[in-house]
Amino acid sequence: MIQYSVGMSLGPSSSVESGVAVREIATGKLIYVDKLFSMSDVQLFFDNYSSIQNSVFCISLPWDNTMMEGKWRVLSKPYQLIHENEDRFLNRDNWMQRFAPRGSELFMKLKEEGADISRFEVYLTRQKFNLYSNFKERSSADCKFLQSALKYEYNFDSLPANMMPVAQLEAIVGCLLGEEKLKNNTGKIFEFRGLDVINL
């Protein structure tokens, strides 16, 4: 029986923090929130987490922050419609890859061992939960907005008054999505490296 919802906001590299949050579904209380950096930290979390079979996991897709050069930077990959322009543009330095494959092998291994793991795209999920602000993404104003919205709209009363790291807040959004998955309120939007990417 699923008792816990685990959200993880995965950074694109070890220099960008990742966050993990564990919520007990029956009480709605956060029982663990932490920051992780390297993939060995992520591996250590899963090695020490004793309730893998009793949890639903939602892990974010990290953006691929590969530096683009010259005209490729101008095209700005998050906004370029790839499927319409694949014939015109060469895929130099893998610039068409929007998401980093970081951690995919570990998550596939966990899925093969019986864990209930899905991926999610943070910004699409925030929009569906009405947690998207007009501030610059991951800025201090956006972070404060997200923390306040989680605290007052989704009853996370245990969140502190001072500002939490944005990776931990995005992990809490993953917890919310995991609970919606258990209620069959989510759908698959695409597949990434063998795992379903879900959203409301």
Residues 133 and 69 reside in one and the same domain: no
- Considering the domain architecture, whether residues 58 and 75 belong to the same structural domain is answered as no
CATH number at residue 44: 3.30.420
CB atoms inside a 10 Å sphere around CB 64: 18
Q: Tell me, yes or no, whether 116 and 156 share the same domain.
A: yes
Could you identify the residue written with the tokens 């490296």? 193
Q: Which residues contact 35 (CB under 8 A, 6 or more apart)?
A: 17, 18, 19, 165, 167, 168
Element (H, E) at 156: none
| This model's pTM is above 0.85 | no
Total count of domains within the chain: 2
Q: 113-137: per-residue pLDDT in tens? A: 888 899 999 988 999 998 888 888 8
- Which is it for strands 4-9 and 55-60: parallel, antiparallel or unpaired? parallel
Q: How many helices (H) and strands (E) does the chain have?
A: 7, 7
User: Are 135 and 190 found together in one domain?
Assistant: yes
Q: What is the pLDDT of residue 78?
A: 56
Q: Is the pLDDT of residue 174 over 80?
A: yes
Clarify whether residues 91 and 57 are in a common domain.
no
Q: Taking residues 45-54, what's their average pLDDT?
A: 89
Domain span at 74 = 65-98
- Whether 27 and 69 map to the same domain: the answer is no
Q: Decide which of 80, 98, 116 is a domain's last residue.
A: 98
pLDDT value, residue 137:
82
